[in-house]
Structure 1
């Protein structure tokens, strides 16, 4: 008698990520109750299972959903607002004034709705987000059917969300208590950066992170100016300060990390720090070049993020993988640095590991959640396919994503979003553009 299953996904190339660099030709993944039951050749799957539904993708790659390890999702409404400017001028003259004028529950709700649709359509099933109004963000991502780790923002200056460090902590912990049981929603502490957060706040974050076992998601060593300014003001580099405060450990998600000494690379490797590498944002803002091949060799967990739409200007993680792989070769002056298989691992298993989710997502393994995507490799401008992994990294783009499942539930089918109206999304984005431009 055939075993029942909810869904059988058949693909010409299954890329499980674990084992590393393996491609399984003509394989199927069986899913029941949102979890992976089996990974086996298609002929064996048809002989074993009686699926309620079958998705056949003979010219596609099936792989784990992508993990975006650093994003300011609500900033989709600021896409293209202030291009071609250095970081501090971009922040101080354009982004922070715009946020002061417009940030509130409405912007966060609408911006995340746009971002979730964009990411899901591009194969991103999990995001690590940092922004204001984490209560609104948690609800918005849950409604979108997307996994999200929501940053409990901490910063020393007042905002529309909170007026003091004490209020950031109080409100953040309240949101954590109220929303931590939402499906697919987890939390991290999100101190903005060493130059905007006090020692006292960092010390409290360290204690709470240890107590609640939550990651700490923070911009670190983003620019040479940031590092030099810290040395001038404190006679201490930002990473050394975080080490002194007890935050350099496996719970730390350090974003950008473009300015590193040999000793700092060794430190983060030894401590198992996760690096959220954002190559396109770093390039656009001329922030510098993260030495990710050296970080990888040192033992750091190198993953990848898009940053926000105001500094990228998209949430295309497949495109980010390609940029990361190519840039790493140039920085390392080694064509073998960050090969295609590791680049894909950065966007899947390594991102999951940074968020403490590697037992649940990030690879196609029996027992894990069915967070899966298919990518079309049949077009003439992708063919021929000598290596599915190489094509995914070096030739594919987000518009090749065909199907997306989160926890076994369809979010994209045949390239179409399941629960969003693209015309309504476009109109929403246009309305925000008009409001912000009018200011």
Structure 2
């Protein structure tokens, strides 16, 4: 018998690859942070001698969820300015608050809070876009969560940097210093076409090609954005990016709400990915992305929460359910975006968008053991005819019982490991008092 680090036996395993498969009474064998095998439980016990054995008889195992777009540190701005359209929300509330309060400490503390929320909700990897990337990366490593850290770029000054060149230089220095951290990867993250010039986009593209990193950008989020682009640049935002040479398999188009059929075809032809953020799009009244059409065209559509300031949860189970229901409601097709596809969007499609699908996003031998377990023990989950249907339409993050990242236990029996939850609550209260003292009793 071969000695391994961990054997997890579960009632069901949904590996995501191959598509549509549900394994009954199987086990995942893990050694040195990697998945060694998926096999029937009786065969696993005859093959492996695990140092640790977890029997999860009422559980379903899935790949750890991949949050394809967020601004983790904005957890400290959760609920600050609600029920407002995007432009007013950003210009009159969020940007002024960030100008006063954002610092390396703010980003570190906010990312710690976000990482804890995401891990507790089954997320094992997130794609971040925010200032002070070293602070975000450090907080992610402390939490033990996988992170794609954005090298952000804008054409206006913030407490973090003076101009686009300064943003890129500082972000690249962080990437160079932390590139050997196995849980970290990096993206170029120009904020949006309305905050980034052609010259800055050209610098982003050059740098992305030099370091082989994805480009992560908000685009076509609102009608106002497209109207302004036509007025200022003479073309719609996606056409502008196409003209600048940014469309490629490395592009992650965030939101992509207001697209024509021609623009969808353009994304598909260039192998681009979309990070669909249904809750944020609804909350900011931005609209509903044409996900059914994008999927039919072959676009790789992943799921993201956006930041907690505009969602206001970092809850990927909510995003899966909402994405599936919106696709059906908008298309008038009940078969649109079925449960298996929604789960794939929340796992493997996100990993593919980030260029990480060889390492995470599905339960396949050789990949990192990024695993989420949900316990189906509640009467509210009974009966269960189809565990994947339950994952998308019934279960929530409250049913997540255990989480492993790179084979290391991060959540055990619904308890975060190596995280002082009471400390996080106090930390959030301190920042609330700084940001809006009148709200603290």
TM-score for the superposition, normalised by structure 2:
0.98
- Whole-Å separation in 1 of the counterparts to 2:113 and 2:196: 29
Pair 1:202 & 2:201 matched = yes
1:172 aligns to what?
Answer: 171
2:282 aligns to what?
Answer: 283
- Whole-Å separation in 2 of the counterparts to 1:224 and 1:333: 23
Return 5+ residue gaps in structure 1 as ranges: none
Q: Which moved more, 1:287-296 or 1:422-431?
A: 422-431
1:102 aligns to what?
Answer: 101
1:54 aligns to what?
Answer: 53
* Deviation string, structure 1 residues 267-306 (Cα, Å, up to 9, x no partner): 1011111100000000000001100111011111000000
- Whole-Å separation in 2 of the counterparts to 1:203 and 1:27: 50
- Whole-Å separation in 2 of the counterparts to 1:346 and 1:304: 6
2:240 aligns to what?
Answer: 241
- Whole-Å separation in 1 of the counterparts to 2:175 and 2:424: 29
Pair 1:126 & 2:128 matched = no
* Deviation string, structure 1 residues 342-368 (Cα, Å, up to 9, x no partner): 000001000000111111111111111
2:428 aligns to what?
Answer: 429
- Aligned length, in residue pairs: 438
1:113 aligns to what?
Answer: 112
Pair 1:363 & 2:350 matched = no
Pair 1:353 & 2:352 matched = yes
Shift of 1:138: 1.1
Shift of 1:421: 1.3
Shift of 1:15: 0.4
1:30 aligns to what?
Answer: 29
TM-score for the superposition, normalised by structure 1:
0.99
* Deviation string, structure 1 residues 282-336 (Cα, Å, up to 9, x no partner): 0000001100111011111000000000000010111111111111111222111
1:372 aligns to what?
Answer: 371
1:8 aligns to what?
Answer: 7
- Whole-Å separation in 2 of the counterparts to 1:109 and 1:403: 25
Return 5+ residue gaps in structure 2 as ranges: none
Shift of 1:165: 1.6
Q: Which moved more, 1:395-404 or 1:159-168?
A: 159-168
1:304 aligns to what?
Answer: 303
2:154 aligns to what?
Answer: 155
Question: CA RMSD of the aligned region, Å?
Answer: 0.8
Pair 1:274 & 2:277 matched = no
Pair 1:294 & 2:265 matched = no
CA contact (8 A) 1:142 1:183 kept: no
Shift of 1:183: 2.8
1:231 aligns to what?
Answer: 230
Runs of 4+ in 1 over 6 A off after TM superposition: none
- Whole-Å separation in 2 of the counterparts to 1:207 and 1:263: 27
CA contact (8 A) 1:98 1:436 kept: yes
